[in-house]
Structures are given as C-alpha cells and as structure tokens.
C-alpha cells in the first residue's frame, strides 16, 4: 500500500508539471489584457463645416479601461469636456459617447459635438486620455465663414397605375434650406386632404411628420372612377404633383 501511495504522489506531481505551462500562459494572457495600453483608432483628422452647421470631431479608443477622456482646444489652457461633463455652458458643446463593444471588445467613441459652429471655433483640438503616459489624438476643425446654401427641393413618388380597390401608397421627400420643412400638406385634385373629411374616413392614413424622414400617404382602398391627381405643398411655395391612373381590369380565377 505504501508503494501505491508513492506512485500516486508521483502521478500528481507529473500532472502539476504538465498543467504548469498552461497556467503560466493563461496568467500571462490575463495580465496582458489588464495592462493593455489605450490606442486611438483611425478617424478623420481634418473636419470642415460651414458656419452654423454641426461639427463632429471623432475620437475612437480601444482599451480605455477606467481612464478619463478630455477634449481641449490646443490654444486654450482649460479643457472643454472631461468624460461627458462640459465646462463651458455658454458654448453649444457636448460629448457624444458610444460603447462599441458589440463591434469590438473594449472599443468606445467620444465625439466632440459643436452645434451652430462659428469661425471662432476654427483650430486644433485634442482628445486626451488622462493616464500616467500622455495619449493624445489631434483633430483640426475649419469653419467656413459663410452659411451652407441648400436649395429647397421636394420629390414625390409611389403608385401611379393601379387597379380598382388596390391601395395607393405615395411618398413625399421634402428638403428645406438649412433644416427640414415644418409643414407638408397633401392635396387631391386641388383640394386639401383632411383626415376628418367623410370622403377619406377609414380609407386614408397620413403618417405623422418626422424631421429628415420622408412623409408617406397611404390610401387603403381606391374607388375613384377617373384619373386622380395627388399633390403635396411644402410650406412656402414648393409644389410637386403626381398623376395616378386607374386601370379598369377584372381578374378571373379559373
């Protein structure tokens, strides 16, 4: 029995020797993960916007850990933001934070947002990580001293040739000068379409207006016996018209 116990001791010792390299490898990997240095991923280093536009300066970081991120304009001695806290309430400045771990483990994004950018905002900015070593990512912002000129436009598309009792779906995409238009009206043969009108009751749905998203009109069932003209009026003059023609066709099932 003593000899058997001796051999068992030897086997246990050999098992420990075999497992030791694996334990060292796992420990080393865990240590590397814990001590991985933060790194900046490639994002635009030069950003140009027109006056009164929104400026977004990107800063994407891998392995940030518990460290803090600060944004600062290089020409200033104080930070604009630390984390998501803003230190200059007079400016339209904020930080857009995103945890991108679904894309990649340990990945975060800290973008500096400047609303209604002005020429005075032009300059070099730095995204800095507060740590024992200094980690800095530079982004240059140029604000052109003239507003962006956008010509208002309006587009309309959808069902044009339909059969009797088929639904009609129309889409309106309206673009304002510097922002989305605040009001869009729908017309039928020159008359404004109103949901309370008995003619359209239970037959019509106009989706609520959402900024920067095309508006939609859905007529569930068409019973008109003549060509139809649908038009949309964007607030202040812009008009687009779409002719819809009803095809009198019967379908027979054999």
Spatial CA neighbour of 135 closest among 82, 66, 61: 61
| Residue whose tokens read 């950003």 | 47
Q: Name the segment(s) of the chain with CATH classification 2.60.40.10.
A: 39-147, 153-247
- Residue matched to tokens 């891998």: 62
Task: Give the pLDDT means over successive 10-residue stretches in the chain (254 positions).
Answer: 52 52 46 70 95 94 92 93 86 90 89 94 95 90 89 73 76 65 72 76 67 45 46 52 58 38
Enter the tokens of residue 77: 């001695």
What pLDDT does 252 receive? 39
Structure tokens that stand for 233 in this block: 């009026």
Taking a C-beta distance cutoff of 8 angstroms, is the pair 111, 56 a contact? yes
- C-alpha to C-alpha distance for 219 and 207, rounded to whole angstroms: 11
Bridging pattern class, strands 153-158 and 123-130: unpaired
Pairing of strands 135-147, 123-130: antiparallel
For 188, the token pair is: 């039928």
Q: Please give the CATH topology (third level) of the domain spanning 153-247.
A: Immunoglobulin-like (2.60.40)
Q: What CATH number should be reported for the domain whose range is 39-147? A: 2.60.40.10
Measure the CA–CA gap between 70 and 54, rounded to whole angstroms.
20
Q: What is the pLDDT of residue 132?
A: 78
Point out which residues pair with 136 in neighbouring strands. Answer: 128
State the pLDDT at residue 226.
41
At 248 the pLDDT is: 52
Query: For residues 186 and 195, what is the distance between their CA atoms, to the nearest angstrom?
Result: 11
CB 58 within 8 A of CB 137: no
């Amino acid at each position: 029995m003593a000899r058997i116990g001796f051999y068992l001791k030897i086997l246990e010792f050999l098992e420990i020797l075999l497992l030791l390299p694996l334990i060292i490898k796992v420990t080393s990997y865990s240590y590397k993960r814990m001590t991985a240095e933060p790194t900046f991923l490639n994002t635009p280093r030069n950003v140009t916007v027109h006056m009164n536009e929104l400026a977004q300066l990107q800063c994407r970081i891998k392995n940030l850990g518990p460290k803090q991120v600060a944004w600062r304009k290089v020409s200033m001695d104080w930070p604009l933001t630390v984390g998501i806290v803003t230190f200059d309430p007079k400016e339209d400045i904020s930080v857009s934070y995103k945890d991108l771990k679904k894309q990649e483990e340990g990945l975060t994004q800290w973008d500096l947002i400047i609303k209604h950018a002005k020429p005075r905002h032009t300059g070099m900015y730095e995204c800095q990580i507060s740590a024992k070593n200094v980690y800095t990512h530079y982004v240059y912002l140029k604000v052109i001293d003239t507003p962006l000129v956008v010509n208002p436009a309006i587009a309309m598309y959808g069902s044009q040739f339909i059969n009797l009792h088929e639904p009609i779906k129309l889409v309106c995409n309206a673009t304002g000068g510097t922002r989305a238009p605040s009001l869009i009206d729908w017309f039928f043969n020159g008359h404004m379409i109103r949901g309370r009108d008995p003619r359209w009751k239970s037959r019509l749905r106009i989706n609520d207006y959402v900024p920067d998203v095309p508006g939609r009109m859905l007529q569930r069932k068409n019973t008109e016996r003549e060509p139809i003209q649908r038009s949309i009026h964007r607030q202040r003059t812009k008009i687009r018209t779409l002719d819809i023609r009803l095809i009198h066709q019967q379908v027979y099932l054999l």
